[in-house]
């Protein structure tokens, strides 16, 4: 048995499943959720009576025929099967998110609802500025599951966001202006073509362009002083490249050097390009190679070639 309250506009009614087709029609008619051609209109769950575990459906639009089928299946369960269903095997309806970077694909199973509640509570505490930073960090790091999103939400103070930089080129000018004398007229920078320099600067900083502005790598500043060229003496003598033996591997048909850890921009030798490997959630292997991976980082490869986006 499932008992919920459904609504259509300002009209509501209680409904208990399983329910016959004729009784369901009457309930929908009570709240004017039947159109002129006798078709059912979308309705919203406005309350949950039983089971309480379905409270996550409040505010969602659901398919009542599917709900009716589910109730019939529940009625066939014994106590043990019911407990197992409510604790482990319950599935979700109509996953919707106000944050475009948090999608249904990130939701693994019903056990993630506790994590979702943690995320929802943290998001409710965010200021408008923090919400924008959160979306920018999600866009940059692209977590593969809800746990990764929560991890980002709990570390928002570790990011810096340049709201007004809509491209690498505009951030490059903002970066220069940050270090210039306050008397300098920044209008002199407006005519400069700085896209290439901006992209190089972002790579040095480990920062990323997002639809919400340019965001720093976690734990780093957007306004660190970084060299234009890597010092020759550090190219092969950095700690990251000497404290472990790099393995030679093949990536997409090309030779590459593999490191288990993360490499800072200043540790990458001139002429090589760094890409991060994303590990699967269960740690079984690598699932993708990307310019930057925040969550499920499985290693870094150094290559002579720049990878195309379609690779």
Domain residues of the chain, as ranges? 2-89, 108-157, 161-215, 232-303
In 3D space, the residue among 229, 221, 177, 174 whose CA is nearest the CA of residue 200 turns out to be 229
Let me know: does 57 contact 65? Beta carbons within 8 Å: no
State phi, psi for 247 to the nearest 5 degrees.
-90, 145
User: What is the rounded (10 degree) CA torsion for 162, 210, 297, 119?
Assistant: 80
Per-10-residue mean pLDDT of the chain, 311 residues long, equals: 88 91 88 80 86 78 82 79 56 56 62 72 87 91 84 91 89 90 83 87 91 91 83 39 62 80 75 83 79 81 74 57
User: Quick one: pLDDT at residue 240?
Assistant: 45
User: Quick one: pLDDT at residue 311?
Assistant: 57
Give CA–CA dist 57/46, Å, rounded.
8
User: Quick one: pLDDT at residue 237?
Assistant: 38
Q: Based on the number of CB atoms within 10 Å of its own CB, is 273 exposed (0-12), middle (13-18) or buried (19 or more)?
A: middle
Instruction: Give how far the C-alpha of residue 278 lies from the chain's centroid of Cα atoms, to the nearest Å.
Output: 14
Give CA–CA dist 71/91, Å, rounded.
13
User: Quick one: pLDDT at residue 184?
Assistant: 85
């Amino acid at each position: 048995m499932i008992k919920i309250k459904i609504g259509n506009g300002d009209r509501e009614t209680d409904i208990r499943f399983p329910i016959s087709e004729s009784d369901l029609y009457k309930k929908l008619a009570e709240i004017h959720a039947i159109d002129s051609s006798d078709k059912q209109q979308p309705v919203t769950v406005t309350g949950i009576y039983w089971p309480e575990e379905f409270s996550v459906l409040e505010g969602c639009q659901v398919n009542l025929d599917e709900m009716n089928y589910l109730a019939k299946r529940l009625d066939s369960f014994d106590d043990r099967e019911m407990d197992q269903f409510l604790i482990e095997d319950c599935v979700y309806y109509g996953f919707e998110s106000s944050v475009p970077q948090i999608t249904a694909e990130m939701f693994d199973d019903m056990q993630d609802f506790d994590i979702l509640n943690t995320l929802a509570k943290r998001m409710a505490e965010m200021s408008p500025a923090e919400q924008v930073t959160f979306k920018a960090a999600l866009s940059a790091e692209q977590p593969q599951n809800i746990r990764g999103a929560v991890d980002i939400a709990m570390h928002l103070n570790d990011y810096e966001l340049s709201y007004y930089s809509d491209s690498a080129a505009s951030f490059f000018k903002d970066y220069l202006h940050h270090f210039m004398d306050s008397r300098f007229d920044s209008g002199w920078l407006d005519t400069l073509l700085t896209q290439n320099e901006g992209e190089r600067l972002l790579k040095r900083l480990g920062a990323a362009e997002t639809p919400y502005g340019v965001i720093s790598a976690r734990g780093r500043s957007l306004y660190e002083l970084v060299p234009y060229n890597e010092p020759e003496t550090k190219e092969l003598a950095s700690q990251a490249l000497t404290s472990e033996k790099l393995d030679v591997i093949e990536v997409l048909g090309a030779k590459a050097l593999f490191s288990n850890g993360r490499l800072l921009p200043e540790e990458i030798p001139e002429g090589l390009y760094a890409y991060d490997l994303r590990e699967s959630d269960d740690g079984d292997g690598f699932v993708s190679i990307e310019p930057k991976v925040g969550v499920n980082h499985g290693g870094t490869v150094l290559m002579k070639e720049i990878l195309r986006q379609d690779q």
